[in-house]
């Protein structure tokens, strides 16, 4: 899968929110997407790329403790704001 080893910019559209605000909707990721949840202490269960016209999304299922989360990222350009 191409997105696992390349550095692109991703926007978290929905998923887990922590009180520290370190990860939640609007989080911008300028790193290898596969490594981002792992650095935040999540185990990755599944990742899949979804195309919608010219847009590219990655759905990630993660686990932390005994709780599972579904994170949705959208590939964005460097000049796009993440909201």
pTM (2 d.p.)? 0.73
Rounded to the nearest 5°, which phi and psi values hold at 20?
A: -70, -15
In a domain, 81, yes or no: no
At residue 35, the pLDDT reads 87
Confidence of residue 47 (pLDDT cuts 50, 70, 90): very high
In a domain, 61, yes or no: yes
Residue 1 has pLDDT above 50, yes or no: no
Rounded to the nearest 5°, which phi and psi values hold at 39?
A: -70, -25
Confidence of residue 25 (pLDDT cuts 50, 70, 90): confident
In a domain, 82, yes or no: no
User: Residue 43 pairs with which residues in a beta bridge?
Assistant: 63
In a domain, 69, yes or no: yes
What integer is the mean pLDDT of 47-64? 88
- Which structural domain range is residue 47 located in? 2-76
Question: Into how many domains does the chain fold?
Answer: 1
In a domain, 83, yes or no: no
């Amino acid at each position: 899968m191409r997105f696992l080893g390349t550095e692109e910019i991703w926007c978290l559209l929905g998923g887990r929110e922590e009180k520290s605000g370190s990860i939640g909707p609007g989080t911008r990721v300028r790193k290898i997407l596969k490594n981002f949840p792992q650095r935040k202490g999540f185990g990755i269960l599944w990742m899949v790329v979804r195309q919608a016209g010219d847009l590219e999304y990655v759905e990630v299922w993660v686990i932390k403790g005994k709780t599972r989360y579904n994170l949705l990222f959208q590939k964005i350009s460097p000049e796009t704001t993440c909201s």
